[in-house]
Amino acid sequence: MTDQRADPESEAKLVEISLTLATLLEEHIGPWVARSIEQRAAEGGQVSPALLADAERAATEATAVVGGRIRELLTTDIDHQMSTPLALVRSAISYPTAVLAEHRVTAPDRPVFETDAFPDDIYALSPANFADIHPDLRVPGLEWGAAKAFVHLKRRAS
């Protein structure tokens, strides 16, 4: 993540923050998937041992697949990042959605804005921010955004 127009200290700090965020997201994405399944199913009284087992399987798979994508994104130079880590986490709703649909869990009514903004999120699981995944992600997510913006502006200031 280096660029000759940005100062090495800012670049190194961005790398450090990016790696921290990637590690924390990998740590929390699986539990978030499992928790999302359990909470949505519990709302309708539709929790079963089979659903819980499928939730754990989905959590493991989401950690491996989406966690890997997040790490790849966050270790790519910012000038080549075509997404954000939060967008990648939002793509992980396919894991709990598949489990919930397979177990015929009733989908909630959603406001029109949510339906338009997140048409594939029939169970209203998309996180609005990093803290929705886990409170420990709030500060690292903000730090990453600020560090990325700072380096981006520094690179273009020259």
* 10 located within any domain: no
How many domains is the chain partitioned into structurally?
1
Residue 20 is part of which domain span? 15-157
The DSSP code for 107 is: P
What would the two tokens of residue 132 be?
Answer: 């929705």
For residue range 5-26, what is the model confidence (pLDDT) as tens digits?
568 999 999 999 999 999 999 9
* 9 located within any domain: no
* 6 located within any domain: no
Q: How confident is the model at residue 54 (pLDDT cuts 50, 70, 90)?
A: very high
Share the mean pLDDT of the chain.
94
Question: Please, what is the Cα angle at 92 between 57 and 54, to 5 degrees?
Answer: 20
* 105 located within any domain: yes
* 49 located within any domain: yes
Cα gap 48→79, rounded to integer Å:
46
* 101 located within any domain: yes
* 1 located within any domain: no
Q: How confident is the model at residue 44 (pLDDT cuts 50, 70, 90)?
A: confident
For residue range 102-151, what is the model confidence (pLDDT) as tens digits?
999 999 999 999 899 999 999 999 999 999 999 999 999 999 999 999 99
